[in-house]
Amino acid sequence: MGQLILLRHGETEWSLAGRHTGRTDISLTPHGETVAAQLAGAVSRLRIRAAFTSPAKRAVRTAELAGLGSAQPDPDLWEWDYGGYEGRTTQEIQVNRPGWYLWRDGVIPGDAAHPGESIAQVGARVDAVLSRVRPLLAEPDGDVALVAHGHVLRVLTARWLGLEPAGGRLFSLDTGTISTLGTEHDEPVIATWNVPAA
């Protein structure tokens, strides 16, 4: 069975500032582009049979720079829709909601462009992604790469392991990193996690 290769997009101004970036389509910083390009070395050593990316330009650009320019957009790989918390930091949110924790407390509705999503909705999206990539992974000679965002990839990892979507809280994931999900004795495992570009 092939492995599922996860690339979190490179740094953006908002990720650097800790601002929740769901559906706001912002670009990589120059440093984010440099780090994304450095992922190409690790990607070139893999046997990628198929690649998919979030439609967000920060993910598409990361895919291009990492050598996955043929990655197909998949709307189910968009980041968690943070609704009314879009663009805000945890500290800013906690001014009005002391102790707020995304994985437990969720988000509030926003405007038409950011209606917000529950963790169950994010879980359903990543379940759909996994149902599409598992047949590809079962074929011989090849891995599948997904280029997306921190929270959605963390939820996807939880679901790969058979955990509830909120299990994604257990997996910290930095920008510009590569991780590998696989199997051992036919059971799902994390093979590598949060590996920075070399």
Which residues, other chains included, contact 112 with Cβ-Cβ below 8 Å and sequence gap of 6+? Answer: none
> Which pTM does this prediction carry?
0.97
CATH code at position 114 = 3.40.50.1240
Residue by residue, DSSP assigns the chain as ---EEEEE---BHHHHHTB--SS---PBPHHHHHHHHHHHHHHHTS-EEEEEE-SSHHHHHHHHHTT-TTPEE-GGGSPP--GGGTT-BHHHHHHHSTT--HHHH------TT-----HHHHHHHHHHHHHHHHHHHHSSS-EEEEEE-HHHHHHHHHHHTT--GGGGGG----TTEEEEEEEETTEEEEEEEEEEP-
Q: Which amino acid, residue 26?
A: I
Catalytic residue numbers read 9, 79
> Whole domain around residue 18: which residue ranges?
4-196
Question: For the chain, how many structural domains are there in total?
Answer: 1
The rounded distance, in Å, linking the Cα atoms of 42 and 163 is: 28
Q: What is the mean pLDDT of each run of 10 residues along the chain (198 residues)?
A: 96 97 96 97 94 98 97 98 97 97 97 96 98 94 95 98 98 98 96 93
The rounded distance, in Å, linking the Cα atoms of 103 and 120 is: 11
Using CB atoms within 10 Å of the CB of residue 161, give its burial: 0 to 12 exposed, 13 to 18 middle, 19+ buried. Answer: middle
Q: How far apart are the first and last CA of the chain?
A: 26
For residue 103, the model assigns a pLDDT of 98
For residue 145, the cross-strand partners are 5, 51
